[in-house]
Structure 1
C-alpha cells in the first residue's frame, strides 16, 4: 500500500523540443497519453500528487484521473527550465500546505510513464524527512527522486534546466540509492523514436 507521507510532483511544464511540434504529453502509448499514465501511476504509488502544468493548460483536455483544480500548479515561467519549475512548484507547496504535511517530495517526470506502481511504492516506503532516495537500474541512476522535507529549501533555490541534480551533489551523505529491476526508471520518452519503442514494450507486456 502506498505511503501517505509523501507528495508526488508530476513535472509536465517543459517545452519538449526534441519531440517536435506535437504536445508530447498527449502522445499515446498503449492507448493512454504519456501524461495520463504518469499521473495515474504517481497518484497510485505515492498516494497524493500535484501536477506542475503550463499556463493555460485545460484540465479537461489533459484528461487525467481524479484531477481537481487544487491538484494543479501552473508554472509561471516554464521557459526557464526544469530546475526553475521545480523551485516554483516547491515554493507553491510551501505557501499552500502546512509545513509538516509531507515528509518527502517525489519529483516525477511526465515523460517516464512506464515505471511500475510497485516500483514507486518501494521508493515511497524508503522516503523520509532527512533522506534523498533515488532508484537505479543496472548501475544507472534513474527517476523519480524523492527529496526529504529537510532539502526543500535547497529545491526552492534551483535555477535553469538541470533539475535537482545540484541538491544531490551537495548532499551525497544523505542519498540512498535503491537498485531495482524496473528498467523504466531510466527510460524517458523524449523523441518519436523512443515513443515507438515504448509502444512496442507495452504491446509485448500486454
Structure 2
C-alpha cells in the first residue's frame, strides 16, 4: 500500500494573526512538525499545499523535507476545499490512498498517522477516532479521490463527502493523539505553557 501524505497548510490564520503553517510550537513551525509526523508515520510521497505566505512556507518545507512536493493553491483564500482540491490534483499516479492532515492539529503525531494509514485500502475511507468520536486524520482510498476533489469547494473540504456515509472505518487514536486545533494565540499558549509563562 502506497499511502501519500497530504498536508493542508495554505490558510492565512486570521484568528491567529499569522499563517498557521509558520506558527512556532516547541521551537519549530507547525508545518515542520506536521511534515515530520507524516514522514515518521510512513507516508510517502508527501504533498504540502501552500497559499498564504507561499514563498516563506515553501522555503521552510523544502529545508525541512527536501523530498516533499509543494503545491500552491491558487484559490486558497476561498477556503480549505480549494486547498484540498489542489492537493488531490497534485498526487502522483499510483498512490493507493491519501492521508489528509491539517497543519493546525499538532497533537496528531506519527504514531496516530501510522495507525490510521495501516488500515487504509484502495477502496475504503478511514478516520481517526477519539473515544469513538470521528476526527482527523482521514485517509481516502484511491477509488474516492476524484469524487472527494469534485465535492470540495470554498471552505467545504471533505466534510460534505463524509457526511452521512456508513462505510467509513474508525481507528481509535485518542490514546496517542489529541484532536485540538490551534486557531488562536490562546490555543497556542494552552499547548505551550512554558512559552505562555515567558510571554
1:62 shift after superposition: 4.9
Unaligned runs of 5+ in 1: none
- CA distance in 2 between counterparts of 1:183 and 1:199 reads 18
- Asked if the contact 1:143/1:185 (under 8 Å) is kept, the reply is no
Count of aligned pairs:
192
1:26 shift after superposition: 1.6
Question: 1:19-74: per-residue Cα shift (whole Å, max 9, x none)?
Answer: 12x23222211111111101111122133211101274233345642235x61111
2:11 aligned residue = 14
- CA distance in 2 between counterparts of 1:201 and 1:182 reads 24
- CA distance in 2 between counterparts of 1:144 and 1:102 reads 17
- CA distance in 2 between counterparts of 1:61 and 1:138 reads 34
- CA distance in 1 between counterparts of 2:76 and 2:39 reads 23
TM-score, normalization by structure 2: 0.86
Unaligned runs of 5+ in 2: none
Give the 4+ runs in structure 1 shifted more than 4 A.
61-64
- CA distance in 2 between counterparts of 1:11 and 1:177 reads 21
RMSD over equivalenced CA pairs, Å = 2.3
Give the alignment partner of residue 167 of structure 1, picking from 161, 167, 185: 161
Q: Secondary structure at the match of 1:123?
A: helix
Q: Secondary structure at the match of 1:114?
A: coil
TM-score, normalization by structure 1: 0.84
Matched, 1:139 2:132: yes
